Amino acid sequence: MITDIRVELLHTPDCPNLDATRSLLESCVSELGLALTVIDRVGEFPSPTILVNGADVMGHPLSGNASCRLELPTRERILEALQA
């Protein structure tokens, strides 16, 4: 059983990819039957970024630069991170 997972969705204000990424994350959480709250953080981040237990699901170190990500979180990476 999966327990003690901290999931954060980091984004800049008005990120054009936020809604699709949020929907994908919610779908993955539901698919795995997890009961968890996603922490939504707005700030100076590569946007959107999904952190699971502090690690970027795409495997990149988190920088403090606000920018639009070119490599968006994928279903496969999100599921893998949630199950790790």
Locate 7 and state its tokens. Answer: 């999931």
Residue 10 has pLDDT above 50, yes or no: yes
Q: What per-residue confidence (pLDDT) applies to 66?
A: 83
CA 60, CA 48: separation in Å to the nearest integer?
A: 13
Q: What per-residue confidence (pLDDT) applies to 70?
A: 85
CA 2, CA 44: separation in Å to the nearest integer?
A: 30
Which among 19, 5, 10 has a CA at the least distance from the CA of 50? 10
More confident residue, 38 or 2: 38
Q: What is the pLDDT of residues 20-77, one digit of tens each?
A: 999 999 999 999 999 999 999 999 889 999 999 999 999 987 776 788 888 899 999 9
Pairing type for strands 67-68 and 38-42 reads: unpaired
